[in-house]
Structure 1
Amino acid sequence: MNTTVAEPKSKGINSNSEASPGEEILRIFNLQKANQHKVARTTASERRRKLAVLHEAVLSYREEIREALYKDFRKHPSEVDLTEIYPVTSDIKYARSHLRKWMRPKKVGTPMAQLGTSSYIHYEPKGVVLVISPWNFPVNLSFGPMISAIAAGNCVMIKPSEHTPYASGIMKKIISELFDESEVAVIEGGVEVASELLKLPFNHIFFTGAPEIGKIVMRAAAENLASVTLELGGKSPVIVDEDCDLKTAAMRIAFGKWMNNGQVCIAPDHVFVHEKNASEFMELVKQNIRDYYGEDASVSPSYNRIVNKNHHRRISAYMEDSVSKGASIEYGGKTNPDEDYFEPTILTNVPAGSGISKNEIFGPILPVYLYNDLEEVINEINSREKPLALYIYSKNKKNIRTIIQETRAGGTVVNHSGIHFFNNNLPFGGSNNSGIGKGNGFYGFEAFSNPRAVLKQWAPVSGLDFMGPPFSDFKQKLIDLTIKWF
Structure 2
Amino acid sequence: MRDILDAQRAAFMAALPEPIAIRKDRLKRAAAMIADHADRFCDALSEDFGHRSREQSMVTDIAGSIAPLKHALKHVDGWAKAEKRKVQFPLGLLGAKARVEFQPKGVVGVISPWNFPINLVMSPLAGIFAAGNRAMVKTSEFTPVTSAVFEEIVGKYFAPEELAFVSGGPDVGKAFAELPFDHLIFTGATGIAKHILHAAADNLVPVTLELGGKSPVIVGKGADIAQTTERVAIGKMLNAGQICLAPDYMLVPSEQEGAVVEGLKAAATAMYPTLLSNPDYTAIINDRHHQRLTEWVADARAKGATVEVVNPANEDFATANSRKMPLHIVRDATDDMIVMQEEIFGPVLPIRRYDGGIDRAIAEVNGHDRALAVYYFGTDAGEQRRVLDRTISGGATVNDVIFHVSMEDLPFGGVGPSGMGAYHGRDGFVTFSHTKSVYQQPKIDVAKLAGLKPPYGKATRKAAAQQMKM
TM-score between both structures, scaled by the size of structure 1: 0.92
Q: Do the aligned partners of 1:162 and 1:188 also contact (CA within 8 Å) in 2?
A: yes
Q: Do the aligned partners of 1:306 and 1:340 also contact (CA within 8 Å) in 2?
A: yes
What amino acid does structure 2 have at the position aligned with 1:355?
Answer: I
- Rounded Cα–Cα distance in structure 1 between residues aligned with 2:292 and 2:278: 23
Distance change >3 Å, CA 229–CA 464, structure 1 → 2: farther
The corresponding residue for 1:298 is 276
The corresponding residue for 1:101 is 78
Distance change >3 Å, CA 455–CA 321, structure 1 → 2: same
What amino acid does structure 2 have at the position aligned with 1:369?
Answer: R
1:411 partnered with 2:379: no
Q: Do the aligned partners of 2:215 and 2:248 also contact (CA within 8 Å) in 1?
A: yes
Describe how 1:38-437 pairs up with structure 2 within 5 A: 38-73=14-49, 74-112=51-89, 114-115=91-92, 116-294=95-273, 296-332=274-310, 335-336=317-318, 338-373=321-356, 374-437=358-421
Q: Do the aligned partners of 2:451 and 2:457 also contact (CA within 8 Å) in 1?
A: no
- Rounded Cα–Cα distance in structure 2 between residues aligned with 1:122 and 1:41: 12
1:107-164 CA-to-partner distances (Å, cap 9, x unmatched) read 1122225433211111111111100000000000011112211111111100010101
54-63 or 412-421, which moves further after superposition?
54-63
1:180, distance to aligned residue in structure 2 (A): 1.1
The corresponding residue for 1:6 is none
SS state at 1:181 partner:
coil
1:341, distance to aligned residue in structure 2 (A): 2.2
129-138 or 51-60, which moves further after superposition?
51-60
- Rounded Cα–Cα distance in structure 2 between residues aligned with 1:54 and 1:233: 27
Q: Do the aligned partners of 1:243 and 1:394 also contact (CA within 8 Å) in 2?
A: yes
1:438, distance to aligned residue in structure 2 (A): 0.3
- Rounded Cα–Cα distance in structure 1 between residues aligned with 2:124 and 2:31: 14
SS state at 1:433 partner:
helix
The corresponding residue for 2:463 is 479
What amino acid does structure 1 have at the position aligned with 2:187?
Answer: T
1:193-240 CA-to-partner distances (Å, cap 9, x unmatched) read 111212221111000001111111111111000000000000000001
RMSD of Structure 2 on Structure 1 (CA): 1.6
SS state at 1:112 partner:
coil
Distance change >3 Å, CA 456–CA 327, structure 1 → 2: same
Which runs of 5 or more residues in structure 1 are unaligned? Answer: 1-24
SS state at 1:130 partner:
strand
Distance change >3 Å, CA 178–CA 248, structure 1 → 2: same
Q: Do the aligned partners of 2:452 and 2:460 also contact (CA within 8 Å) in 1?
A: no
1:391-444 CA-to-partner distances (Å, cap 9, x unmatched) read 000011011001001110000000011011110110000001000000101111
- Rounded Cα–Cα distance in structure 2 between residues aligned with 1:335 and 1:176: 42
Q: Do the aligned partners of 1:241 and 1:273 also contact (CA within 8 Å) in 2?
A: yes
1:66-118 CA-to-partner distances (Å, cap 9, x unmatched) read 11111111111110111111221110110001101111111112222543321
1:39, distance to aligned residue in structure 2 (A): 4.5
- Rounded Cα–Cα distance in structure 1 between residues aligned with 2:376 and 2:57: 27
What amino acid does structure 1 have at the position aligned with 2:77?
Answer: R
- Rounded Cα–Cα distance in structure 2 between residues aligned with 1:194 and 1:213: 10
Q: Do the aligned partners of 1:242 and 1:274 also contact (CA within 8 Å) in 2?
A: no
Q: Do the aligned partners of 1:40 and 1:154 also contact (CA within 8 Å) in 2?
A: no
SS state at 2:438 partner:
strand
The corresponding residue for 1:5 is none
- Rounded Cα–Cα distance in structure 2 between residues aligned with 1:111 and 1:459: 16
SS state at 1:410 partner:
strand
141-150 or 329-338, which moves further after superposition?
329-338
- Rounded Cα–Cα distance in structure 1 between residues aligned with 2:402 and 2:334: 27
Q: Do the aligned partners of 2:332 and 2:352 also contact (CA within 8 Å) in 1?
A: yes
44-53 or 282-291, which moves further after superposition?
44-53
- Rounded Cα–Cα distance in structure 2 between residues aligned with 1:68 and 1:43: 35
- Rounded Cα–Cα distance in structure 1 between residues aligned with 2:18 and 2:183: 19
Percent identical residues: 31
SS state at 1:339 partner:
coil
380-389 or 114-123, which moves further after superposition?
114-123
Q: Do the aligned partners of 2:8 and 2:162 also contact (CA within 8 Å) in 1?
A: yes
Q: Do the aligned partners of 2:33 and 2:154 also contact (CA within 8 Å) in 1?
A: no
169-178 or 126-135, which moves further after superposition?
169-178
The corresponding residue for 1:21 is none
425-434 or 76-85, which moves further after superposition?
76-85
215-224 or 371-380, which moves further after superposition?
371-380
What amino acid does structure 1 have at the position aligned with 2:123?
Answer: G
Which runs of 5 or more residues in structure 2 are unaligned? Answer: none
What amino acid does structure 2 have at the position aligned with 1:158?
Answer: V
- Rounded Cα–Cα distance in structure 2 between residues aligned with 1:426 and 1:439: 9
- Rounded Cα–Cα distance in structure 2 between residues aligned with 1:224 and 1:241: 47
1:464, distance to aligned residue in structure 2 (A): 5.5
Q: How many residues align?
A: 461
